[in-house]
């Protein structure tokens, strides 16, 4: 792995996830979260000459990591459009789909992107810099109830109402445009000992809303269910409980709500069978080497 790739993003649960894809000769595979290319490069390394890999990423920065390989196709798009692009490339079915739902280290470490409270910069947080609302747009235009709901749902913050109220009062004086301005307003709401953890939740909530991450994930998972061939694998790495619950529900029941439909004999009607009943987490060694892997959970299911 070269230095620039390491700086961009260290792939999490690399062996475990690629092994989980169960690669076969002549297979068609999709990596819906290309990022630094770590997982895609390992898939290509293990693939035979007749296999194909399609990798998705909406971030223009990810294009710098594109691999020059005739078996590889890069799709500059949000993974929510998986169905459309597979049709565009005349792909009727795929043998495994990998999703690593973590935000690239590159995004956290680039002050201009506004993903982290460690740096000064604009309150942006868009994965795709060409489209959509910024975090500043949301903070300055959402009404108090809508702000409180997003901090509660996506950040699981107990003081979401207070947080929303303080922001609405502050923006009446001046628009909130930068990370520094935002932190000055919200920091007093958190005790020193829990400040970093709580701020991480605040930034997570805004990032999820800016990029419509939950809606995109749901659309991608349903498209993946449809696209997989019988025996094909869905391999997903999640990093927080909201994502993990959606993925677990889909794999166990075939829907994101987790509503189990049963046949006449009481068997749950689901398109999947679980490959790992117990969630896979990084080893202690991997967590030491890459602290950002600590919250990762890997789930694998096979299409019936």
Residue 269 pLDDT grade (very low, low, confident, very high; cuts 50, 70, 90): confident
Burial of 62 from C-beta contacts in 10 A (0-12 / 13-18 / 19+): buried
Closest CA to 101 of 273, 275, 277, 242: 242
The pLDDT of residue 192 = 83
Residue 153 has pLDDT above 70, yes or no: yes
Convert the pLDDT of each residue in 162-214 to its tens digit.
999 999 999 999 999 999 999 999 999 998 888 888 998 999 999 999 999 99
Per-residue model confidence as pLDDT tens digits over 92-130: 999 999 999 987 544 444 444 444 555 678 898 898 877
pLDDT on residue 1: 40
Give residue-wise pLDDT tens across range 11-68. Answer: 999 999 999 999 999 999 999 999 899 999 999 999 999 999 999 998 878 788 899 9
How many residues are listed for the chain in this entry? 304
For 74-82, what is the mean pLDDT? 96
Nearest to 101 by CA among 213, 233, 10: 213
């Amino acid at each position: 792995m070269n230095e620039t790739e390491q700086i961009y993003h260290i792939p999490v649960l690399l062996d475990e996830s690629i092994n989980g894809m169960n690669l076969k000769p002549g297979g068609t595979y999709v990596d819906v979260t290309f990022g630094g290319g770590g997982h895609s490069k390992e898939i290509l390394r293990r693939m035979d000459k007749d296999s194909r890999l399609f990798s998705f990423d909406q971030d223009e920065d990810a294009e710098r990591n594109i691999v020059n390989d005739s078996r590889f196709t890069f799709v500059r798009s949000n993974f929510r459009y998986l169905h459309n692009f597979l049709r565009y490339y005349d792909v009727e079915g795929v043998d495994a789909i990998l999703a690593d739902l973590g935000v690239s280290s590159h995004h956290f470490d680039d002050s201009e992107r506004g993903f982290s409270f460690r740096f000064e910069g604009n309150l942006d947080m868009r994965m795709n810099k060409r489209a959509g609302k910024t975090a500043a747009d949301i903070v300055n235009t959402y009404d108090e109830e809508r702000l409180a709901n997003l901090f509660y749902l996506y950040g699981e913050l107990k003081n979401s109402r207070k947080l929303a109220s303080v922001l609405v009062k502050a923006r009446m004086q001046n628009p909130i445009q930068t990370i520094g301005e935002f932190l000055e307003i919200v920091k007093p709401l958190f005790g020193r000992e829990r400040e970093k953890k709580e701020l991480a939740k605040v930034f997570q909530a805004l990032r999820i809303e800016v990029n419509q991450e939950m809606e995109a994930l749901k659309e991608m998972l349903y498209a993946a269910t449809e696209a997989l061939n019988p025996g094909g694998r869905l391999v997903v790495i999640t990093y927080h409980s909201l994502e993990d619950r959606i993925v677990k529900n889909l794999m166990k029941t075939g829907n994101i709500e987790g509503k189990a439909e049963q046949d006449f004999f009481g068997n749950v009607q689901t398109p999947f069978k679980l490959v790992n009943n117990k969630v896979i987490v990084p080893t202690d060694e991997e967590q030491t080497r890459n602290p950002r892997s600590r919250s990762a959970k890997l789930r694998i299911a096979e299409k019936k």
